[in-house]
């Protein structure tokens, strides 16, 4: 078995199926989109929440992605001359850096950070915004506000 190949987690499988559902929806492939939505729901139901997860652990994983994951993926995209992947990686890296900054602020301020405001996430690039309303345009990928959705408070 290749050293880069591993079994995906339930959460990763749910994310892949959710992305495939979105792609099928955009391509007007309703039956396939419905199937991927059902698969995403199934995989999401199988994941086990991590009640003892710590922000420091998440920040460490983000640091590893920024130090190793993104450079490796960018190198592969460059070698393949894949402009779409390079653009998506640029968006992802920016959103990841902003998310890290938000997590560090949350670690210092706790629930006060989101107490009297909303939290929104861009469905295209993953940008996370804390405020009373989503920005008119995502500052990272430039999609309009209708692609930026509120996060349920119980998920925070």
Is 31 within 8 Å of 39 (Cβ atoms)? no
Largest interatomic CA distance in the chain? 50
In the predicted model, what is the mean pLDDT of residues 124-144?
Answer: 91
Contact 138, 148 (CB under 8 A): yes
29-46 mean pLDDT: 94
State the Cα angle at 44 between 138 and 36, rounded to 5°. Answer: 75
**For the chain, domain boundaries:** 7-48, 49-155
Q: Is 66 left (phi over 0), alpha (psi -120 to 50) or beta?
A: alpha
Between CA 56 and CA 63 the distance in angstroms is 10
Average of per-residue pLDDT values in the chain = 88
Alpha-carbon distance of 93 to 90, in angstroms, equals 5
* Residue 138 burial by Cβ neighbours in a 10 Å radius (0-12, 13-18, 19+): buried
What are the distances in angstroms from CA 96 to CA 91, 102, 109, 115, 156? 8, 10, 20, 23, 17
Helix residue spans in 27-69 (DSSP H): 30-46, 55-64
Residue 29's pLDDT is 93
pTM of the model: 0.71
Structure confidence at residue 126 (pLDDT): 87
The confidence score (pLDDT) of residue 153 equals: 62
Class of domain 49-155: mainly beta
Mean pLDDT for 58-72 is: 93
Q: 128: part of which helix (H) or strand (E)?
A: strand 128-131
Residue 155 pLDDT greater than 60, yes or no: no
Mean pLDDT of all residues in 85-114 = 90
């Amino acid at each position: 078995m290749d050293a880069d190949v591993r079994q995906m987690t339930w959460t990763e499988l749910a994310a892949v199926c959710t992305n495939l559902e979105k792609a099928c929806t955009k391509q007007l492939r309703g039956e396939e989109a419905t199937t991927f939505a059902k698969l995403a729901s199934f995989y999401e139901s199988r994941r086990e929440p991590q009640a003892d997860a710590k922000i420091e652990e998440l920040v460490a994983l983000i640091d590893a992605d920024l130090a190793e994951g993104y450079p490796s993926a960018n190198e592969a995209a460059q070698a393949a001359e894949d402009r779409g992947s390079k653009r998506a990686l640029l968006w992802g890296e920016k959103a990841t850096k902003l998310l890290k900054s938000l997590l560090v602020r949350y670690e210092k301020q706790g629930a006060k950070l989101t107490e009297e405001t909303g939290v929104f996430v861009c469905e295209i690039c993953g940008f996370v915004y804390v405020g009373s309303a989503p920005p008119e345009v995502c500052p990272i990928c430039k999609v309009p506000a209708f692609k930026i959705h509120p996060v349920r408070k119980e998920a925070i």
